[in-house]
């Protein structure tokens, strides 16, 4: 996991709009994303790369449909334990 840099904390409205769209459809073509936010492709791509580099975007994931997998509930659990000394 990357630490988020101080520059990453300064997201503008355009960055947030890009993130909202990517959260709904991470597979969107960069040209379509740029069109939706009102930018040309190059600046849009640069913003996405910067947010990935700065640790704001950590990856792209597939959202699974539990019903299509034959289950009624699908749960992913992450447990972190601290080492106990002594």
Distance CA 86, CA 78 (A): 25
pTM beyond 0.85, yes or no: no
The CATH class of the 12-53 domain is mainly alpha
Distance CA 38, CA 47 (A): 13
- Helix then strand then coil, in percent of the chain rounded to 5, is 45, 0, 55
Convert the pLDDT of each residue in 3-52 to its tens digit: 555 655 689 999 999 999 999 999 999 999 999 999 999 999 999 999 99
- Taking the domains of the chain in order of start, what are their residue ranges? 12-53
Convert the pLDDT of each residue in 45-55 to its tens digit: 999 999 999 99
Query: Nearest CA to 56 among 25, 20, 29?
Result: 20
- Tokens describing residue 56: 């704001």
């Amino acid at each position: 996991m990357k630490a988020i840099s101080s520059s990453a904390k300064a997201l503008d409205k355009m960055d947030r709009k890009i993130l909202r769209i990517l959260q709904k459809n991470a597979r969107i073509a960069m040209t379509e994303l740029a069109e939706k936010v009102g930018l040309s492709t190059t600046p849009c791509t640069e913003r996405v790369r910067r947010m990935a580099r700065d640790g704001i975007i950590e990856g792209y994931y597939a959202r699974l449909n539990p019903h299509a997998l034959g289950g009624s509930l699908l749960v992913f659990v992450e447990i972190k334990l601290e080492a106990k000394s002594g």
